[in-house]
Chain A
Amino acid sequence: MRKGVQASAGLSPREIALGLSRSRREFLRGAAGAALGSALMTASPFLHGETARKKRKIIVVTFGGGARDQETFAPEGQDNIPHMLQELVPQSSFFTHVTNQGILGHYVATASLTTGVYETLNNFSAIPPEHPTVFEYFRKDLKRPASDAWVVAPSNGFNRIGESECRSYGPGLGARVILPKHLLGAATPGASTDFAHLLRDNYENPLYTPELGGGEFELQQLETILRLSVDDFMAHARAVSSPDELSVYIAKRLMQQEAPSLLWITMHDIDIAHSGAYSLYVEAIQRTDRLCAELWKAVESEPEYAGNTTLFILPDFGRDADYDAGGNGFQHHRTGDAASRTTWMMALGAGVRQGVLFDQPMQSIDLVPSLGAMMGFSPTQSQGRPIRELL
């Protein structure tokens, strides 16, 4: 490493990760007035009674397409996330140091988030996770119907994320999956070449994406479940600028019509970074920031959700650092460096301490056991640990 590019010289990956976490903390303490959580570890605000659990709803939003600190929570990135910073962080418990020790591909990483195990499946194949998903634990343990767990995910590769291939769980016990892009494709046969590209684009491998297999959400179910005609759906699709906007629209529609207790939404616009156009990456961050706030407003305004919903927002992982010679900065997440493995998580809503920062390192696979502890199911095969600060 030579003069001028030695920002991380001499530091171990762990030290770099701690540095990232610390800079998030310092910035958020100043910008959002958040307090340090270690001083506030008293009795949990969560309600543990059975009645409360039955009513509780959880929404998880993941950014499938990690966003780096310098474009988000670092001082130079704050302009890109005004909604999260000013509206959501002040009412959140914010975890500054979340690491992902698994494979840094979006489908496999999101699958790992849902199972609480670092999955090793082929990132570019539409295959189910090996271990039971949070949806299966939730439905089997709590005897919930299929309509109570939903996934809204971006591209074709995610269509098997709802349930695993685990024998004791698996088929029939998972979440139902909606792929808005797939719906669009079904509703627009014979689309233009550019549009067809958008539909099959998964950014990570922009020239290829797997064909669908398995039980995808069929077009006719627009009407039976979402109470939405194809014409109305297309009219709305023509009014939004990106697939994530459509995903949030579908999610809000699901909240109104099905009111699932466990709703998982994977955003993906940010992954346009793989195209190498920095301006598009930043635009996508700004859009995602706005959509997260929009979703929270929907939670607060829906009678089924207001007051009893906990929202989690977390990127599946980060992106490569500018200074890592093995990568090309923001464009990819291929190096496995500290910046690409270290990210953050925000929790807000029912039972969450507001305006608190937690510095203790946690792993992204800790989410599933935490959800289990909050909702009353047992993710027995998960390798993560419940996040003490949330319980």
Chain B
Amino acid sequence: MLPRDLQPEQFAGYPAEARKLTVAHLGALRQLPVSFVPSLLREVIDYDFKFPAERSAIDKELAILSSLSQEQITERFRGFAQLTISAKLEQFDWINEPAQFVEQQSAYLWTTHQLDAFRRAATEYGTRLQAEAPPDPMPVRRLGIAVIGQGVTSYDVPLFRNLRAHGTYFGQVKPENGLELLLGAVAERAKAHPVPYGHWYVDGGSAADCSPALTCVSYNALEPVRAALLKNIDAEIARPGMGPEQLRTHLARLTPPDLGMKSEGNAVLDRFQMKLFTEGSGTQIFSTTFAQWTAREVLRRAQALTLLVRFAPRQRQRPMNELLTNVHSNAGVDATGSLIDGDMAAYYQWINQQRLPGADQSSFLVWFEGHSQALVIAPTLPRGTESSSAIDLGKLLSLAAG
């Protein structure tokens, strides 16, 4: 099957809005190389369950593709067209299973030493698209907050090492009511600038009370989903003939009800939360990984205007000798390790935030929960400096938000 042979009825299995969109742009899709189209369809097929920012990006991309002449398409997709794919991949049902195709294509590109060429073609395409599809205007500057180190009483190693060069370190922060102040300020932003899926609170443990204006995701609230997934995986692994690729294909086909999520829930958010576990690596095991990956996905997919991530202690990795002697039945938590995880994750949260539009005006705050250390990156604050001012979290956030 090649793109030039695409017909509207072949998209009958797509959800309603995705089908409508695909058929409307079929003329453009038919002109694109097979090494590219499934990657696009992988996004389009989930259109009905995408966040507004993602829908907008898909709309713009398809509109641009439909506006190109045949010559422009040939020129733009030359890098992709030069890639070869196997006959087996061509025969694959990439219309209905584009994600599975992309996974197999990736393995094929590695094997045939074409991955670097694909990477170059994709980067070039993405850069050009970004330049041609200007971002929608933002109602407020983006703000990221990371709260790390919950449960750690003392820690002597310098924190925020990766971020210090980019912002101002505060060593005299008043920690009292810190989380409440931050959550309150975030809720105020959400009320003042209501945008669907624009303002998020992610907690690696149990979520604190927060405004309904925030989209809230927490590790503990999703415990039944996580447990259902692990049980599901155990059952799948035990099946004869099951291998890593088959397992990934199985995970990609799961739907929220398969993991016990109620069908009358929020379809967009439920699917997002399910994918945190089925697509993330380590999110099923460590809460710090879950919080970091969720932050990445919230920024990448929803392009959140506000994101507060609070890291909680993850379960302790039990050493081999302890597993062998089976002394402790309960793993317990590793608060200090989780602080180190959170410190790196905060850096990654900032990096992911900086990939989004308006990066030069965005702000970021990271705080060692319950302690006097914080760091703020903001266009109005100097970089690579330290402040000894005694300041509470509310005022610090005001400084960050400018």
List the interface of chain A (C-beta within 8 A of B).
1-5, 13, 76, 101-105, 118, 120, 124-125, 184, 188, 191-192, 194-195, 198, 205-208, 210, 234, 237-243, 245-246, 272, 274-280, 282-283, 322-323, 325-326, 328-332, 335-336
Contact = CB atoms under 8 A, between A and B. Distances in A.
* Interface size range on B against A: 35 or more
A206 B281 contact: yes
Interface stretch (B72-80, B181-189, B351-359): B351-359
A210 B389 CA distance: 57
A2 B360 contact: yes
Given A208-B237, A328-B293, A335-B119, A274 B282 contact: yes
Given A195-B326, A277-B337, A282-B340, A125 B288 contact: no
B79 to A, nearest CB: 15
Given A2-B355, A241-B321, A277 B119 contact: no
B348 A277 contact: no
Most interface-central of B283, B317, B347 (chain A CB within 10 A): B317
Given A3-B354, A322-B347, A336-B116, A276 B283 contact: yes
18 contacts: A2-B355, A4-B359, A13-B116, A124-B244, A124-B245, A194-B323, A207-B233, A208-B243, A208-B244, A238-B321, A238-B325, A274-B282, A275-B285, A276-B283, A277-B337, A278-B343, A279-B341, A336-B119
Interface string B268-311: 00000000000011111110110011001000000000000000
Contact of B324 (A3, A205, A238): A238
A118 B113 CA distance: 10
A124 B243 contact: yes
Contacts of B320: 198, 237, 240-243, 245-246
Given A103-B110, A195-B326, A329-B351, 19 more contacts: A2-B357, A4-B166, A5-B359, A13-B116, A102-B113, A104-B110, A120-B112, A124-B245, A125-B243, A188-B324, A195-B324, A208-B243, A208-B247, A210-B243, A237-B324, A242-B320, A276-B282, A278-B341, A280-B317
A340 B398 CA distance: 39
A5 B243 contact: no
B115 interface: yes
Interface string B222-259: 00000000000100010000111101000000000000
B4 interface: no
Contact of A276 (B162, B288, B334, B340): B288
A240 B286 contact: no
Nearest to B120: A13
A279 B334 contact: yes
Given A125-B243, A328-B296, A336-B116, A277 B288 contact: yes
Closest 9 interchain pairs by CB?
A276-B289, A276-B282, A279-B340, A275-B282, A241-B319, A279-B337, A4-B354, A278-B344, A2-B359
A331 B360 contact: no
A278 B340 contact: yes
Chain B, interface SS category: helix
Nearest to A209: B244
Contacts of B161: 76
B199 interface: no
Contacts of A272: 317
A331 B281 CA distance: 9
Contacts of A198: 320, 323
A368 to B, nearest CB: 19
B337 A276 contact: no
A364 to B, nearest CB: 15
Contacts of A188: 324
A206 B285 contact: yes
